[in-house]
Structure 1
Amino acid sequence: MRNWIDRALEPFAPGMVARRVGARMMIQAYEAANPSRLHKAKGETRSADMALQVAGKPLREQARWLDENHDLVTGLLDRLDERVIGAHGIGIEPLPLDKNGKRHRALASRIKARWAAWSLAPETSGELTRPQMERLVARSWLRDGEMLAQKIRGRVPNYRYLTETPFALELLEADYLPFDFDHPERGIYQGIERNEWRRVRAYHVYKQHPGDRRGFSLSTKRVPAENMIHLAHRKRIGQSRGVSILHAVLTRLADLKEYEESERVAARIAASMTMFIKKGEPHMYGEGGESGGTSGAGQRMPDGGRTIPVGPGMMFDGLMPGEDVGTIESNRPSALLEGFRGAMVRAVGAGTRVGYSTVARDYNGTYSAQRQELVEAQLGYEVLQNDFIDGWSRPVYRDWLRMEITTGGIELPDDLDPDTLYNAFYLAPVMPWIDPSKEAKAWRELVESGFADEAEVARARGRNPDELKASREDEVRINREKGLVFSSDAFHEHYGGQANAEDRQRRRDRRAAADAADGEGDTD
Structure 2
Amino acid sequence: MLSALTRAFRSLGLSRPAARHAARGYDGAAGGRRWRNAGETPAPIAAALAGRATLARRAQYLAGNNGHAAAGVAAWTSALVGAGIKPQSRAADPQARKAVNAAFARWTDAADAAGGLDFFGLQALIARSLVVTGEAFVVLSHDETGALRLRVLDSGQVDGSYHADLPGGARVVAGIEFDAAGRRVAFYLWKDPPGLPLGASVELLRVPAEDVCHIYHCATPGMVRGVSWFAPVLLRLADLDAAHDAQLTRQKIAALLTGFVVDPNGNAAGYAGSPDGQGGVEPSLEPGEMKVLRPGEDVRFSEPAQIGAEAIDFLKITAREIAAGLGIPYEQLTGDLSGVNYSSIRAGLVEFRRRAEMLQLATIIHQFCRPVWRRWLAAEILAGRLDAPGFERDPEAWLAVDWLPPKNDWVDPLKDAQAEILAIDAGLMSRRQAVAARGYDLEALDAEIAADAASAAALGLSFAKPADPIAEVK
Q: Which residue of 1 aligns with 2:116?
A: 127
Relative to structure 1, the CA distance from residue 430 to residue 309 in structure 2 (aligned partners, 3 Å threshold; closer, same or farther) is: same
Mapped pair 1:412 → 2:396: no
CA drift at 1:345: 2.0
Q: 1:346-373: per-residue Cα shift (whole Å, max 9, x none)? A: 1122112211111111224221111111
Aligned to 1:91: 86
Does residue 177 (structure 1) correspond to residue 158 (structure 2)? The answer is yes
User: Contact conserved, 1:277 with 1:323, CA < 8 A, in 2?
Assistant: no
Letter of the 1:118 partner, please give it: W
- Structural mapping, 1:45-124, within 5 Å: 45-48=42-45, 50-87=46-83, 89-97=84-92, 104-124=93-113
| Closer/same/farther in 2, CA of residues 22 and 322 from structure 1, 3 Å limit | closer
User: Alpha-carbon deviations, 1:83-116, whole Å to 9, x = none?
Assistant: 11112x111111212xxxxxx2211110111101
**Matching of residue 267 in structure 1 with residue 263 in structure 2:** no
CA distance in 2 between counterparts of 1:253 and 1:141 reads 18
Shifted more, 299-308 versus 244-253: the winner is 299-308
Other-structure match for 1:477: 454
TM superposition shift of 1:23? 12
Q: What runs of 5+ residues in structure 2 fail to find an aligned partner?
A: 3-15, 468-474
The question of whether the paired residues in 2 share the 8 Å contact of 1:233 and 1:244 is answered with: no
- String of CA shifts for 1:16-75, please: whole Å, max 9, x gaps: xxxx99996588543322343332332222250x21332111011111111111111111
Q: Which amino acid aligns with 2:43?
A: R
Q: 1:322 to 1:140 in 2, by over 3 A?
A: same
Paired residue type of 2:87: I
Q: Give distance in 2, aligned partners of 1:126 and 1:146.
A: 22
Q: Does 1:211 align with 2:185?
A: no
- After superposition, the C-alpha distances for 1:186-208 in whole angstroms (9 at most, x for unaligned) are 41121111112211111111111
Opposite residue 97 of structure 2, the aligned amino acid is: A
Q: Deviations over 1:462-513 (max 9, x none)?
A: 33323322222222222222333223499xxxxxxxxxxxxxxxxxxxxxxx
Deviation at 1:290, TM superposition (A): 3.6
Secondary structure of the residue aligned to 1:202 is strand
Conserved in 1, the CA contact under 8 Å of 2:81 and 2:124?
yes
| Separation (CA, whole Å) in 2 of partners of 1:383 and 1:224 | 28
Shift of the 261–127 alpha-carbon distance from structure 1 to 2, 3 Å rule, reads same
Q: Find the counterpart in structure 2 of residue 437 from structure 1.
A: 414
Tell me, yes or no, if the aligned pair for 1:148 and 1:229 is still in contact at 8 Å. yes
Q: Quote how far apart the aligned CAs of 1:334 are.
A: 4.6
Q: Contact between 1:476 and 1:489, CA under 8 Å: does it hold in 2?
A: no
The match for 2:344 among 365, 369, 383 is: 369
CA distance 1:77–1:305, shift in 2 (3 Å): same
Going from structure 1 to structure 2, the CA distance change for 1:23 and 1:196 (only over 3 Å counts) comes to: farther
Deviations 1:312-348 (A, max 9, x none): x443425444444444343445534442232222112
Moved more, 352-361 or 247-256: 352-361
TM-score when normalising by structure 2: 0.86
Where does residue 33 of structure 2 map in the other structure?
37
Identity across the alignment (%): 27
Cα displacement string for residues 127-158 of structure 1 (whole angstroms, at most 9, x for unaligned residues):
111111111111112211112112113xxxxx
Residues 466 and 345 from structure 1, CA distance in 2 versus in 1: closer, same or farther, beyond 3 angstroms? farther
State the AA in 2 paired with 1:371: R
Amino acid at match of 2:400: N
- The answer as to 2:168 corresponding to 1:194 is no
Give the alignment partner of residue 330 of structure 2, picking from 356, 373, 389: 356
Equivalent of residue 450 in structure 1, options 400, 411, 427 = 427
1:119 to partner: Cα distance:
0.2
**Residue type at the aligned position of 2:89:** P
Q: Determine if contact 1:32/1:41 at 8 Å carries over to the other structure.
A: no
Task: Please list, as runs of the form range in 1=range in 2, the aligned pairs for 1:139-288 lying within 5 A after superposition.
Answer: 139-153=128-142, 160=144, 166-186=147-167, 187-212=171-196, 214=198, 216=200, 218-271=202-255, 273-277=256-260, 279=262, 282=264, 285=265
1:152 to 1:217, Cα distance in 2 relative to 1, 3 A: closer
How far apart, in 2, do the equivalents of 1:59 and 1:47 lie?
A: 15
- Aligned mates of 1:471, 1:328 — CA distance in 2: 72
